[in-house]
Structure 1
Amino acid sequence: MKAPRIFLIAGEASGDALGAALMRALRVARPDASFIGVGGEAMAREGLVSLFPLADIAVMGLAPVIRRLPKLIARINETARAVIAAQADCLVLIDAPDFTHRVARKVRRERPRMPIVDYVSPTVWAWRPGRAKAMRAYVDCVLALLPFEPEAHERLGGPRCVYVGHPLVERLDELTRYAPLEGSESGEPGDASRRDRPLLLVLPGSRVAEVQRMTPLYGETLKLLMRERPDLEVAIPVAPNMERTLRDALRDWPLAPRLITQQEKFAAFRNARAALVTSGVATLELALAGAPMAVAYKVSPAESLLRFLIEVDSIVLPNLVIGENAIPEFLQEAATPPALADAIASLLEDGAARARQLSAFARVRERLSEAGDNPSARAAQIVLQYVDGRESAAG
């Protein structure tokens, strides 16, 4: 077999982490593999020299995309030309479909026999389901992170879709093995100090717009909560690139929360009595760690007009994984301080609301583990099937 040459395109930080893990798994299976493409710091550590900085295309939200549209179009064209010139054995798209799929369509027109694998399914099961059928023209296989996605693609007429497992499964031991949060008063789960001073985590989001939109809401929620529970210890995990934005957003809060590092984050999840969280992958992390939560989400007025396109009963990932709305969610007008404060208050006490979530979390862990404990290796195996010609491109 010749040495495989694989072109990877990640569009944001989460895809960068996923791409780095995939590169490691591919190199284990084929030490002679080489990589080119677009990625961030994590993929650079695995040897990728990115065509341009990931920040050029890691844009979310309607208004920011419109402002940067000329640059995004230029990067799409540049990336497509690079893929075509590289004559790679396989193109791997990693999430960010608004960018990566536009590249893929251009590549498929010029190199119809080049296999194209999409790592992370677009949310065709939630909105714009027609995308699934359209993808068949330029995607040969979707590597799904969520167990219900293969059925969704089959039902919607999408391309081949294989559940490889969620990358969080590879960190399950980290998420579930108890250890005291450094510097906290807690010693072991259930000890007196922990019961007397419960830890409430607040996760306002991973993007600037989310933090700016959700943090004031959570501050007002805490004002209400602390009238009844002045003993609460409040902590917020913060990434280095978001610290300034977060500190600015916290100026009007009723207390100064403890800011914890990303290295401490999972320990905090395991120690938390409850969490107030903006919808996203953090809900899966909290579920696997066993931290009951209330989920909120708000978008801009312009984006809220698209709500009628949503075709699922929940936007909370653990709820979707088990097919049951066990975790309460508060969206747009429903996301009010009184509603969120009541939801969190019910989770701080032992009772039906808390027990229901803890029971659901066990089922989340079971479903996410169905594909095995090494999703990256499973994904690498399928990519190599296309590299080696054991699966062929549809074009």
Structure 2
Amino acid sequence: MTGPATGPNSLDVFLVAGEESGDILAAGLMAALRARVSGARFRGVGGGRMQALGLASLFPMDDITAMGFAQVIAGLPRILRRLRATVDAIVAAPPDVLVLVDAPDFTHRVAHRVRRKLPHLPIVKYVAPTVWVWREGRAKAMAPDIDRVLAVLPFEPQVMADLGGPPTIYVGHPLIGMLDHLRPNAEEARLRASDRPVMLVLPGSRRAELARLGTVFGDVLGRLHQKLPHVDFVLPTLPKRLAEVEAMVADWPVKPRIVVDEADKHAAFRVARAALAASGTVTLELALAGIPTVAAYKVPWLEGRIAPHFIKVDTAILPNLILKEKAVPEYLQWHIDPPAMADQLVRLIEGGPERDAQVAAFARLDVVMGLDGARPGERAAQAVLDLLGR
């Protein structure tokens, strides 16, 4: 399928991204497209990184982000308004290609409505929906509306094929392009093994995650501090969450050092000896950095009761899914156990078989994820241009 006729140095791309992760992915794709097509221009919905590359967002990206059933219901009128506005903007001035990044509940509806109005417009979905976790019927449902899926996890093309989804290409996870920021040099490796170890504390980046995990993480840190008082706790967070994080740790028995600058976060990753983290992309970030981790997660009570009847996998941790083994210990929902989590972290910090096993498992990620030097944004850009026959 090809888009409207354009010159070799012209390309009109409409992008829709949701959340920080989508902003990062889309910005990488935009930069790589511009490197290949000098006259590429971008429209749509995105965050700060996309806007820095020239995109004027139709509305704030956060307007289409809703996590959890209750939040979706509360924000539904706004989301529907934004959905209509997005589709109207695309139909009023059809681009050469529509790229929908993450935020599946919103972007799949955009794709469906646009396909009905502009049946020949090429539509790309960047990030496959988690059909390998639940609602596997989404893969087949996407097929009429999506021409190409760009996957960020290596097992997803096969999953999508097995479930009757659209053609899917693995382009690599965005963290692949950040390994130099995450992995220590010789001096940092020495600091990682020093007598005053750094431990990362990562309770999540969403307000709801902080509310559900704050007390648990504070309890774990208090217990760990009693056993290993020399550990330096560092809590990286986003600038927009600083006030909430400061309020969260105010009652903790031991206060971590909070950092909001991305360079400071990466510096902490390169010297950290262990981590306590909320389940999510950060667990893969930690694994690629070679940092042994204990992971935890909680969802609202009702979701926790319903989810086991629909979930198709036996782990919520990305490195475990990619490696197909329980490399990272996880404490989820009803099984969160601060004393056990603290004891596990002691063993990871002090060293021994459990730490060695995690480090060895993480080393295998380079092969499994195909880290061959090409950045995901570059692979994604080439996939888009291939679809367009450019």
Task: Classify the TM-score, shorter chain.
Answer: over 0.9
Aligned equivalents of 1:302, 1:74: Cα separation in 2: 28
| Aligned match for 1:78, one of 80, 85, 90 | 85
Aligned equivalents of 1:320, 1:86: Cα separation in 2: 41
> 2:270 is matched with which residue?
270
> 1:337 is matched with which residue?
338
Residues 54-92 of structure 1: CA distance to partner in whole angstroms, max 9, x if unpaired?
A: 122222222122111001011111111111112111110
Aligned equivalents of 1:370, 1:222: Cα separation in 2: 34
Aligned CA distance change for structure 1 residues 188 and 284 (closer, same or farther; 3 Å): closer
Q: Is the 8 A contact 1:145 1:166 kept in 2?
A: yes
Q: 1:27 is matched by which residue type in structure 2?
A: R
> 1:393 is matched with which residue?
none
> 2:3 is matched with which residue?
none
Q: Normalization by structure 2: what TM-score?
A: 0.94
Q: 2:85 is matched by which residue type in structure 1?
A: E
Q: Is the 8 A contact 1:146 1:368 kept in 2?
A: yes
Aligned CA distance change for structure 1 residues 227 and 93 (closer, same or farther; 3 Å): same
> 1:355 is matched with which residue?
356
Aligned equivalents of 1:197, 1:284: Cα separation in 2: 25
1:311 is displaced (CA, Å) by 0.5
> 2:376 is matched with which residue?
375
Farther off after superposition, 360-369 or 21-30? 360-369
Q: Is the 8 A contact 1:275 1:291 kept in 2?
A: yes
> 2:254 is matched with which residue?
255
Q: Is the 8 A contact 2:90 2:114 kept in 1?
A: yes
> 2:316 is matched with which residue?
315
Q: 1:350 is matched by which residue type in structure 2?
A: G
**In the alignment, is residue 244 of structure 1 matched against residue 261 of structure 2?**
no
- Helix, strand or coil: the match of 1:138? coil
Q: Normalization by structure 1: what TM-score?
A: 0.93
Residues 303-349 of structure 1: CA distance to partner in whole angstroms, max 9, x if unpaired?
A: 21223211012111111111111111110011121121122112112
- Helix, strand or coil: the match of 1:9? strand
Aligned equivalents of 2:387, 2:43: Cα separation in 1: 17
Aligned equivalents of 2:387, 2:12: Cα separation in 1: 12
1:172 is displaced (CA, Å) by 1.2
Aligned equivalents of 1:166, 1:221: Cα separation in 2: 31
**In the alignment, is residue 197 of structure 1 matched against residue 215 of structure 2?**
no
- Helix, strand or coil: the match of 2:42? strand
Aligned equivalents of 2:30, 2:47: Cα separation in 1: 13
Q: Is the 8 A contact 1:57 1:72 kept in 2?
A: yes
- Helix, strand or coil: the match of 1:236? strand
Aligned equivalents of 2:188, 2:111: Cα separation in 1: 51
> 1:326 is matched with which residue?
327
Aligned equivalents of 1:188, 1:136: Cα separation in 2: 47
Residues 201-253 of structure 1: CA distance to partner in whole angstroms, max 9, x if unpaired?
A: 11000101101111110111122222211222111002100001101111210
Q: Is the 8 A contact 1:273 1:292 kept in 2?
A: yes
Q: Is the 8 A contact 1:178 1:267 kept in 2?
A: no
- Helix, strand or coil: the match of 1:48? coil
> 1:301 is matched with which residue?
301
Matched positions, count:
381
Q: Which sections of structure 2, spanning at least 5 residues, go unmatched?
A: 1-5
Aligned equivalents of 2:335, 2:365: Cα separation in 1: 26
Aligned equivalents of 1:76, 1:27: Cα separation in 2: 27
RMSD: 1.6
Q: Is the 8 A contact 1:125 1:311 kept in 2?
A: yes
1:372 is displaced (CA, Å) by 4.4
Aligned equivalents of 2:120, 2:195: Cα separation in 1: 63
Aligned equivalents of 2:383, 2:140: Cα separation in 1: 21
% identical aligned pairs: 49
